[in-house]
Every structure is written in C-alpha cells, then in structure tokens.
Structure 1
Amino acid sequence: MQDVKIESFEDLRVWQAGIQLVKQIYLVSREGELGRDFGLKDQLRRAAVSIPTNIAEGFERRSRKEYVNFLNIAKGSAGEVRSLLRVALEIGYLNEPTYSQLSDQVVGISKMLFKQIESLNANL
C-alpha cells in the first residue's frame, strides 16, 4: 500500500469520514419527528458539523499542539453526536437500524481521532 501525501485537511480520511457523517445526519434529520424538533435537530447537526470543522481548523493552524487540541474537540463532538443519537432513539425519533448505522459511523470516527491524537502526541 502506497502512502498518500497529506497536503490538506481534505486528504485526511478522518475528515472525509466526518463529512460523510454530516451528510447522513442532515438527511436523517430533515424528515419525521426529528425534522420537526428544531432544538434536537439543530444541536445534532451542529455537533456533527463540528467534527470535520475542528479537524480542518486544527490542521490549518500548522502547530502540532494546536492541531491535537482541535482533534480533541472534534472527538468531544463525536461523543456529543453519539449521545444525541441515543436521545433520538430513546424518544422514538430514530429506528434501531438507523441509530446503529449512525452510531457505528461516529464510533469509527472517534477511533480514528484517538489514533491520530496518540500518534501526534507520541511525536511531540
């Protein structure tokens, strides 16, 4: 497998996964009861958007220490998304398959962020 040169945040797989999550969250939250619950919908969307946005902002800072800080913020937002998805499931806004699929996506992103944070911290 050939190493891909990372020249911008758009090259990062974790950022790409974050964008895919945002797309899915927007699609799921525009219909049904979740689509009509403006507070929960807005908070869920904002938390999801925060993941790739913080990855991008940290990457653009060009300081490893700041980048790690923004990756930690993105990881926190991933936890927020997981919690909000669970709320949506528990109150009947999401069905189990949709919840599981989205939750698995977020867990995958959290794991990617953890590995990247660990790698960057090891090289400080």
Structure 2
Amino acid sequence: MNAQEIIRSIEAEQLKSDIPDIYIGDTVRVGVKIKEGDKFRVQPYEGVVIARRHSGINETITVRRVFQGVGVERVFLLHSPRIDGIKVIRRGKVRRAKLYYLRERVGKATRIKQRFDRPL
C-alpha cells in the first residue's frame, strides 16, 4: 500500500455516516459542542447554507445568520468531532451554487423560497 491509500483508509474511519443531505439554500441547525470547564454542552447555530466546499473528510459548509442586525457566517467542517449533529429545518429553492449575494441584502430581501420536492 502506498501513502495515499493509507491516508484514504484512515480518513474513511473518521467519516460520519449520520449527516443528512444538505443543499445550498437550506436552513440548517448545527449542534456545536462547546467546552466549559470540564463539561461539554451543545449550542445550536441556525442559519442558511450559502456555500459548500471540498469533499470527503475536508467537506465544509458556510452557514449565515443575522444576529442583532449583524450578519454572522461560520464555516463548519462536516466530519469534525465538534459537530454534534445537523438538522435540516427547511429546504431552499435557489438557482446557484454560492449565495454570496445575500451578504449585500438586508431584511426581507434575504428570504429564500421554500422547496417541497425534497424530503427534510
């Protein structure tokens, strides 16, 4: 076995199998594990998926939400042990792969139509 095959086999063990189908425009709730002292708690982060990058163990999603009038974006590594779980709240109907244009929009202009042909 060469080095690439060894790396691939180690990465395959780390991949999570409980990740739902996530598409651009979906509203998701990501449970993030936060360490406080010697305890862990799960903090939900809910927002719209505006980008997806990479594949395999390096796959990431960018989730955007507006908090107290300020747009906040977080990039989550899907197969990270820090991610407790991901739940799709609603499906979005969009026509492009990256929704960076939402950064310039404010208020009701940021709404995304709901799509009903894909199950949650």
Q: TM-score, with normalisation over the residues of structure 1?
A: 0.23
Structure with the largest fraction of strand: 2
Larger Rg: 2
Give the structure with the higher percent helix: 1
- TM-score by length of structure 2 reads 0.23
